[in-house]
Amino acid sequence: MPYLYLTIAIVTEVVATSALKASAEFTKLFPSLIVIVGYGISFYFMTLVLRTIPIGITYAVWSGVGIVLVAVVGALLYRQVPDLPAIIGMGLIIIGVVVIHVFSKTISH
């Protein structure tokens, strides 16, 4: 169940972060509400994850996967395509998340 909660936390964080640009510095109501509600849901589900997965691991996965997904959303919605160094960096983040899940003894496999 914690990975379902973590997935919900990541997806709602990505939605909230993606809505930040559309909120036009919180001057547009609907996108601003998406940001506030999305982060609220994300943080709530992260608290549920923290019952079973250590905070460092939870945050590493949440932020790492979120970074990559926000970059994908940015490329698709806002035409903000990352350059090669950015793509390589995000690839390294993904590798880091995989290393945590495959080799770390701080989480149960």
Instruction: For residue 97, give both structure tokens.
Output: 């998340």
pLDDT at site 107:
67
Number of H helices, E strands in the chain: 4, 0
Tell whether 108 is covered by a domain. no
Domain of 65 in residue numbering reads as 2-103
The average pLDDT across 68-79 equals 94
Tell whether 109 is covered by a domain. no
pLDDT at 48 over 70: yes
Tell whether 22 is covered by a domain. yes
pLDDT tens digits for range 88-108: 999 999 999 889 888 888 766
pLDDT at site 97:
87
pTM: 0.87
CA distance 15 to 35: 8
Tell whether 89 is covered by a domain. yes
pLDDT at 32 over 90: yes
Cα distances (angstroms) measured from residue 101 to each of 9, 37, 94 = 18, 29, 11
pLDDT at site 109:
52
Structurally, how many domains does the chain consist of? 1
